[in-house]
Every structure is written in structure tokens, then in C-alpha cells.
Chain A
């Protein structure tokens, strides 16, 4: 072995060590990168767009139409408290109080992709909050009943009679609402009950026998 060869060998070894050191340092630097917190769901920019859109609102008339036609993908969710739900709710609705939205067995109804879910409460506010929390987490096919149960009663259960000057469509809508109301248990037909029924004695039937006319004797002189 010559002297130059050994020095070269040492030099090579040193450069190896140097490179290795740099790589280790850089790898250590990865720990210094600020932690980027990852959160579930959509980014705020998308959330704002969704908030501004009114696509989430479904009118009471449209909902009534879908319920009457027994839409198989429709699922109603009552976001009010259990107490209120027990007093009154829409037919076939499921009760998921807003506070229990993240309960494991209840959350499965909201975070799905099979049904068109219509959230409702007394007015827009509570259902809208459930919608917003769900939307941020990226839940699909959530809708809000526009006006809630208050609007439901104003339009379907007790629809106002349109004014005479209103358009033909208003009358058609009124007729639809009346018919839908009947489906949901409103009795529109009035039953007429007769009072003071006086029974008269049936007069005796007099059977009068027709008198036989005396026939003129036939023949003869």
C-alpha cells in the first residue's frame, strides 16, 4: 500500500461521514416543521360556498308531495328534543336531538349516502345548525325543511284560502295543500247530520180491487 492510497481512503471515508452527518441533521430538521393540524371535513373556503347556497332548503309543498308519493329515499329527522318529539312530529320521522348528533348509533343515520335526509325543527334555526355541523364534516344529502314545523302548519295543515284576485296557480296550490292535508290527517269534509227527524206513520195502503165490469152476454138473440 502506498501512502497516497491510504490518504485517499481516509479522504473518502471523511466525505462519507460528512454526508451522513448532513443527512442526519436534515432528517432532524423535519421535526422542526410546524405541525399542520389536520381536521376532518371540508376546508373553510368550501364551507363558505356551501353556507351561501340555498340548495339545502326544501319547501313544505315539495316535502308533502314526496311524502304523499311515498318516496323510498326520503328520511325525516326531527332535531328537536325528545320531549317535543313525543308530543308531535311528522309521520315516520326519526328523533335525533341536536345534542346527541354524535352518538354512535344515531350518527349512522346522518353520515350516509343512501337517503335524502330532511332535517327539521320548529323553525329553520336548529335544523340549520345540524346541517352546518354535518356539512363541515362532509355529510352527504342533507336538507333542511324551510320554515320548519311552523311553515308546515301554515301551509299544509292550515293553508290560507287564496284571494280571488290571485292567479290560477295559487288556487291549484291551495287545492294540493288541502288534499295533502287530508293525507296527513286533517278532516276537510263536513259531515251533515240531520236533526229533528220526525217519522210519519205510513198511511195504510188501501187496495182497491177493480170492479169487474159486467160483460155483456155474448152471443144469443
Chain B
């Protein structure tokens, strides 16, 4: 009978062991989003700076070879946007990936071109997407703004200094010289020392 009790105990512990494994497997979940490109690789692509495209080059592209994504807010997008652009605000990119609406813009053979208000805004979306594994992406180096009820697009030379810094600094550090005609110094006034007149004393004494 001792042996039977032993088997009972063993089988109970085995079942518990199995349960733990089954529960573990069921609750095992991969994180929904993860980065797949390393930072070092990203840095390499960034420094080669072939992830940007200028407005002129963009205009020469055949519209069937790319997909255009506007990452500004819905409100800005509704006021004006480039032709054929899809609006996916940067805050909703992950959401769009999970519900599948991003797959429409997912790079296959087409290059995805991103633009925003400033190139650095588009660059933020680029950083996110590239590090998550989308590699066929470029950013459009433009600035977009709304003025006089019209949507404007302007090309931006990224990283271009608007001053010759060293030269501007050199000029600024020189003290400005103002030439002033010297006025002839006024002649010193003669000091007039007035001696108090002695009052004529009546001659003392006398007869």
C-alpha cells in the first residue's frame, strides 16, 4: 500500500507540473511592437544621408513608384496636403500597424515617402519605422505651411548654415569706431583773484 500512495503523490505532482507548463505557454505572448534594426545600423544609414529626398527629385519621380504619407495631424491634413498623400499622424502609426490600415502603405516594391511640417518631424517617423524594420522609406525635405488660405510647400536645405559663423563672429567682435570731430578745447578762463579792498583806516591817533 505504501507504493500506491507514492504513485498517487507522484501523479499529482506531475499533473501540477504539466499545468504550470500549459499555463506558461498560453500566457506567453510576444510584445506587439518591437525594434528590429539596431541603433548602429540606423546610425549608418542616417549618416550616409540617403534617406532624404529633395522636392525637385520628388517631382521627377513616377507617382506609381512611391506611396506618400502625411504625418501631420488630421486637422492640418484637411486644410491642405500634397496630391495622393495618405494621412497617418505620427501618434497613430503604431495603431495603424495593429489594425492593418498601415499595411496599405507598407513598403513592398514601392518606396514610402514621408513628409510633415518640418523635415525633422518626418525624420521622427522615419526613425520609428526604420528601427522597426521598414527599410524602403525616405523623407521629403520640405517645409509645409498654411498661409493666406493656401497650402504652401518649400524645399529645405537640411543642415545648411544661414551664416558664415566664423566670419560673422569676427566682424561682430570688432569694436565699431565712430569718428568724431574734435571740438577745440575752450580756452581756460583767467582766474581773477579779487583782493578784498582794504578799507582805508582812519589814521590812528593823531592830534
A residues with CB within 8 A of B: 8-9, 12, 15-16, 19, 22-23, 26, 33-34, 36-37, 39-41, 43-45, 47-48, 51-52, 80, 87-88, 98-99, 101-102, 121-126, 128-129, 132-133, 136-137, 149-150, 153-154, 157-158, 181, 185-187, 189-198, 200, 203, 210, 216, 218-221
Contacts and interface: CB of A to CB of B under 8 A. Distances in A.
Contacts of A48: 90-91, 93-94, 128
B82 interface: no
Given A40-B38, A150-B162, A219-B206, 18 more contacts: A8-B3, A12-B3, A47-B131, A98-B47, A99-B47, A102-B39, A102-B43, A125-B120, A126-B158, A126-B159, A128-B120, A133-B39, A136-B131, A150-B161, A153-B163, A153-B168, A200-B184, A220-B206
Contact of B38 (A9, A39, A126, A189): A39
A12 B5 CA distance: 11
Contacts of B195: 210
Interface string B33-68: 111101110110011000000000000000000000
A43 B33 contact: yes
B165 A149 contact: yes
Interface stretch (B14-22, B100-108, B145-153): B14-22
A138 B191 CA distance: 82
Contacts of A41: 35, 39
A52 B178 contact: no
B173 A19 contact: no
B165 A51 contact: no
A48 B35 CA distance: 12
B: interface residue count bin: 35 or more
A105 B201 CA distance: 102
B72 to A, nearest CB: 12
A40 B34 CA distance: 10
B118 interface: yes
B30 interface: yes
Contact of A136 (B7, B39, B47): B39
